[in-house]
Every structure is written in C-alpha cells, then in structure tokens.
C-alpha cells in the first residue's frame, strides 16, 4: 500500500510536469498562430495593393510597351533630379535679379542725389556770384567807410591815451609807494584805459561833501576835547588841530625813544653789577622779573 502510494505520487508529479510542458507548448502555438495571423493580414493588404496597382500597371504597359518598370523608375529619378537642379537655378536667378534690382535702385538714388547736389551747388554758385557782384559794387564805399572809421578810431585812441597819461601823472598811480598793486592798463587797449579812469574818477555831490565835512568836524572836536582841552574855546580850525596832534605824537615818540635808551642803559648796568657780585650773598640777588618791574616803575 505504501509502495503504491509512492508510485502514485511519482506519477502525479510526472503528470504535472507533462501538463506544464503541454501548457508551454500551447502558449508557443498560440504565439505562432498570432504571428501567422499578422502575416496573413499583411499578405492580404499586399494583395489589395497589388489589385489596386493592377489598373495602373495595365495602363503603364499599354502606354509604354517598350519600357520596363526599372527603366521607367530610372527615367523618373533622372527627371526629378533635373527638375530639382533647374528649380535651384531658377531660385538663384531670382536672387540675382533681386540683387540687380536693389543695386539699380541704389544707383538711381545716387544719380538723383548727384543731380540734387549739382542743383544746390549751382544755386550756391549763383548766390555767391550775386553776392560778389554786390560786394564789388559796394567795395569802394566800404573802403571809404573803413578809412573814415580808422581815422575816427585813431583820434579817439589818441584822446583817451592823452587823458589817461595826464590823469595818471597827476595822481601818481605808478609812483605811489604805499600802493603795492596800483591799477595799470595796457596802453594799446583803450577800453582797459577807460575802465581804469572810471575807477579813478569819484564824483562828489553836495550831499557827500556835507557828509565828509560833518565827519571832519566831529572827529576834530573829539580829538581837541581829548588832547587839547586848554584850546577848546579857540576858533575851530581842523588844520591846526591835526598839526597839534601830529606834534604831540612826535613828542611822545621821542619820549618813548629816550625811555627805551635809559631802560637799556639800566639793564646793562644791572647785569654788570650782578656778574661782579656773583660769588656774594645769594639774598642780594633779585630775579630778572623783579628788576624789570622796578626799572619800569
């Protein structure tokens, strides 16, 4: 019983393997059937094409009995290539024609521009000729007027130069030692000389003179009250007051010089005495500042 069971299992396994083989074979057969079906469909399509081509082929054999298909195809290829070559040549010729037309247009524009420039130059030539004729007609008059203006200019220049020289000599512009940068003009430029004269001229109006006079009176009264009270009741005379002040300043300057001389003398004397007593009592030495103060007193 055990042996028959084992044999049954073995047979069962063999049957399973056989079944798998059959299944695989069925799959392969199904794939072949599919491929054959596709080939059959393709064959049917080709047959249909041939059936459709049959009329054309019959027409071709009737129309060209001495031509084979190969020769006809070669002829067709030749004609197709020739057509392409001729088409390219036509395109190139059309491009050349376009370039020629463009160049023609440019040449025409240049010719028009040249004609226009010639017309403009002709008009300018006519204008210049007319202007020259007019200038030639008025040349003598212009020369006369130019000579007249030249004489007038020289007379005016000499007049300005004489006035400038006279005024600068009178007020000593170029010889004033106190003015380090005196106004100077280029004597070849009358406008510059007139500008200098305009700066020199000061117009005094009555109002300005009265203002200056009031200032002089106030200043002289202040100076007289401050420095010369003993002469306050004298008749007002600015010249005398200014002379007294100048004399007073001169006296003060002289007194100052005398005092400075005496001060220098005492300083020298003190220094010599200080050097001789250098080794003496230190308490007898006075600082320089104290000595200076005593001498000033």
pLDDT tens track for 241-262 = 778 778 888 888 889 899 988 8
* pLDDT at site 174: 46
Domain contains 100: yes
Query: Of the candidates 54, 88, 113, which is a domain's last residue?
Result: 113
For the chain, give the percent of residues with pLDDT over 90.
5
Arithmetic mean of pLDDT, 188-193: 83
For residue 39, tell me if it sits in a domain. yes
Residue 6 lies in a domain: yes
At residue 278, the pLDDT reads: 59
| pLDDT (0 to 100) of residue 100 | 92
> What band does 90 get if pLDDT is binned at 50, 70 and 90?
very high
Q: In this structure, are 8 and 109 located in the same domain?
A: yes
The mean per-residue pLDDT over the stretch 186-196 comes to 81
Last residue of a domain, one of 95, 113, 131: 113
Which domain range does residue 109 map to? 2-113
Q: How confident is the model at residue 294 (pLDDT cuts 50, 70, 90)?
A: very low
On the question of pLDDT at 283 being above 80, the answer is: no
Q: Does residue 172 sit within a domain?
A: no
Report yes or no on 42 lying in a domain: yes
Query: pLDDT confidence of 212, banded at 50, 70, 90?
Result: confident
DSSP string computed for the chain: -HHHHHHHHHHHHHHHHHHHHHHHHHHHHHHHHHHHHHHHHHHHHHHHHHHHHHHHHHHHHHH-TT--HHHHHHHHHHHHHHHHHHHHHHHHHHHHHHHHHHHHHHHHHHHHHHHHHHHHHHHHHHHHHHHHHHHHHHHHHHHHHHHHHHHHHHHHHHHHHHHHHHHHHHHTSTT-SS-SS-----TT-HHHHHHHHHHH--PPPHHHHHHHHHHHHHHHHHHHHHH-GGGTTSPP-HHHHHHHHHHHHHHHHHHHHHHHHHHHHHHHHHHHHHHHTTTS-GGG---HHHHHHHHH-
Report the number of distinct structural domains present in the chain: 2
Residue 137 lies in a domain: no
Per the domain annotation, does 171 fall within a domain?
no
Determine, yes or no, domain membership for 135. no
Asked whether residue 209 falls in the same domain as residue 109, the answer is: no
Is the pLDDT at 175 greater than 50, yes or no? no
Domain termination residue (choose one: 113, 128, 146): 113
Q: What is the residue-averaged pLDDT of the chain?
A: 78
């Amino acid at each position: 019983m055990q042996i028959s069971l084992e044999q049954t299992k073995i047979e069962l396994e063999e049957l399973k393997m056989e079944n798998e083989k059959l299944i695989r074979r069925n799959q392969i057969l199904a794939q072949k059937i599919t491929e054959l079906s596709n080939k059959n469909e393709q064959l049917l399509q080709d047959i249909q094409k041939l059936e459709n081509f049959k009329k054309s082929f019959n027409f071709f054999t009737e129309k060209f009995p001495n031509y084979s298909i190969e020769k006809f195809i070669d002829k067709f290829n030749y004609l197709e290539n020739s057509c392409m070559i001729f088409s390219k040549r036509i395109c190139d010729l059309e491009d050349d024609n376009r370039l020629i037309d463009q160049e023609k247009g440019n040449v025409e524009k240049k010719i028009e521009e040249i004609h226009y420039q010639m017309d403009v130059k002709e008009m300018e030539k006519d204008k210049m000729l007319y202007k020259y004729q007019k200038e030639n007609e008025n040349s003598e008059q212009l020369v006369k007027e130019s000579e007249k203006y030249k004489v007038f200019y020289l007379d005016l220049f000499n007049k300005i130069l004489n006035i400038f020289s006279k005024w600068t000599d009178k007020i000593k512009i170029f010889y004033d030692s106190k003015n380090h940068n005196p106004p100077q003009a280029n004597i070849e430029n009358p406008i510059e000389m007139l500008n200098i004269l305009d700066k020199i001229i000061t117009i005094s109006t009555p109002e300005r003179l009265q203002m200056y006079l009031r200032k002089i009176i106030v200043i002289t009264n202040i100076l007289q009250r401050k420095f010369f009270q003993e002469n306050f009741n004298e008749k007002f005379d600015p010249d005398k007051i200014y002379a007294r002040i100048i004399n007073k300043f001169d006296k003060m300057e002289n007194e100052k010089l005398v005092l400075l001389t005496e001060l220098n003398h005492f300083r020298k004397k003190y220094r010599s005495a200080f050097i001789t007593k250098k080794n003496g009592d230190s308490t007898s030495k006075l600082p320089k500042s104290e000595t200076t103060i005593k001498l000033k007193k």
